[in-house]
Structure 1
Amino acid sequence: MNHKDTPPVQPPRRRLSWNDPGVRSVIYQILAVGIVGGVVWYLVHNTMHNLSVRNITTGFGFLSREAGFAIGETPISYTPADTYARAISVGLLNTLRVALIGIILATLLGTVIGIARLSKNWLIRKISSVYVEVMRNIPLLLQLFFWYAIISEMMPGPRKAHHPLPGVFVSNRGIQMPTLNGDGLTWLLAGVLLAIAAIFGLSRWARQRQARTGQIFPMLRWVIGLLVVCPPALWWFSGTTLSLEVPELKGFNFVGGMTLTPEFAALLFGLVIYTSGFIAEVVRSGIQSVGRGQWEAAGALGLKSTLVLRLVVLPQALRVIIPPMTSQYLNITKNSSLAVAIGYPDIVSIINTTLNQTGQAIEGILMIMAAYLTVSLSISVFMNWYNKRIALVER
């Protein structure tokens, strides 16, 4: 008999049986989804029924109504005649502002303290250790109250304000600083962005040059030079006006310049000082994760300790530092919600005022949750991208 005439062997049909692990896993997943869906449906139905019984309106139509309340700090123009949507936007911008500045300052301070914890100088090492242990073990809310009391109650009035730097005044009204005004401010910011783009391009070229020739490019000098030269040069070529406005004492308060209110300053100080203690430990553990042989090998090449740290140790330590650092950045963003305790108008404070006036509690809570979820996921996505970019590529 020819093998070509032999009919193909059909595999046995798979029967549905409870003894089959694949069948059981599918059934369990269907049951789990059904239970979760049923619980969600019950909660939503019960909530809608209770709201209907109490004649409480639902929906987000209130966002287009007039807010009718003032906000102490407004990064964008706002009046009580504006809508609730505008007021909530102001609160969101206030939250983003304090979170962004806090992340930058906490990273810088935490990195310095983390490196100081590994210093060979006994005094520097002990001072940094005490700083970390003390700041990490005092609740953030208490630190916010402490800094707010220091600024608003223990600082002198405007007439006797401290004058630590030219044009800078510290009083119980906050911190007054000089600011730039005029059409040239846009060109100045454009110059900063241009300098940052040039720094990224130059950094990439410097790494390729070092890999090709082994010569270290003086990147720090060029970074400082680009940041110092590009913004004023672009403003000068634009021909626009730019003026420095210095705060002046008139009557019982300062006029002109930029003011950091006691609420903003206390929140920023508390977030930075509290979180920098955790970041310092992250940096310290990341540096210690690099083998001692790396230090010794770099030192054998004649590199100074600062160059060893910057060129050899920190690039390897970043792969350990970035994941826990992401958690600290998220903590800064989420901990900023404690601003309501000291009166800073963040998104939580403004939505609390909104729901007290409108009664739209569920919608207000949903907007707070959506705002923090969006910001946190954005930070996570960026940090995960950076973590993959610096990760070692296996061959």
Structure 2
Amino acid sequence: MLEKKEHNYEKAVLVGLVTKEQSEEKLQEYMDELEFLAFTAGAQVHQRFTQKMSQPDSKTFVGSGKAQEIREYVHANEIGTVIFDDELSPSQLKNLERELEVKIIDRTNLILDIFAQRAQTSYARTQVELAQYEYLLPRLTRMWTHLERQRGGIGMRGPGETEIETDRRIIRDRISLLKEKLKTIDKQMQTQRQNRGKMIRVALVGYTNVGKSTLMNALSKSEVFAEDKLFATLDTTVRKVVIGNLPFLLTDTVGFIRKLPTQLVESFKSTLDEVREADLLVHVVDISHESFEDHINSVHQILTEIGANQKPMIMVFNKIDAFAYEVKEEDDLTPSTRKNISLEEWKRTWMAKNKFPTVFISATSKENFPELKKLLYEEVHKLHIARFPYNDFLFEYFDDEETTS
């Protein structure tokens, strides 16, 4: 578990299920991620509760015996928050609050809370507020119990903290107002994208916390906020980058995550438009993460959902400086596993047959950066030739360290 100073964090426990669709190994991966999400939001995880069930219980998500076990633990240890790894229905939330008598947060609400903390611009705050209201609307009756207690903390930021009299009509009106506001901003952003000239547009995509912002800073020599937490940046950032003497626009986008709330996909439509309208995608992968293959699949799934999966792409395997594996003894005849495959061996697996150009780097130490920049130049150059066949003589690649913003 992550070590944290207890007095700065809410005390929380995690709850997840092993089901027919979700193995015990997969659940542990999700729970590790959920703990990192909780840490990012400001919680200290004291315990994890897991249960094997064919499907979630319709009333309390977990069985009655497990619910009683959780109740006894949270009351004995003064735990204030119970976080569930899946989205709970309004009735499950209501029943669990009655049963456990503590604050109940599901994965969707936790992610929305992190977004509420991280949103910096008016546009991002509007997007998050819309997603929160759409999450709140079917849960309004349940949320009133929180409002009457006037409790703060994780899951309680954002709309309606003190508006006890809020009803469904007011929330629906607010949702309509926010949607109209976003439509206006979307039109403005569409105009901005059209006014960026005829330069090739490159978008950084990838799972959250894979180093996109760090890579953005290294390539553009800018100071985009980067931190070792999930969803460190929400606001789309665009910088002009020049490699050799070939300029292009580089966009840093919000990170993806497994079980991404549908409310966020919809409310962040314009942010995702930056991905849809890009000429080239740079898919950044944290190769030091034990679940990086699952992260790749999650990103491809979301790209498919937003209609951006057919775009030209470069695969950038980042954080090679943090990659570690267990060295097998020479006489060890046991089959190789994910934990004892070296980086060189990974490169000879499916990665070598990957249909996309691939490079292995460290955005922090800039290891293999010349190779990355050459690859970026080549791919942008191809797109530039296709768009402006008569301007090709203006550009040539030269290996230098001059990457300007």
Give the TM-score band, short-chain normalised.
under 0.3
Q: Judging by fraction of residues, say which structure has more helix.
A: 1
Q: Which has the higher strand share?
A: 2
Structure with larger Rg: 1
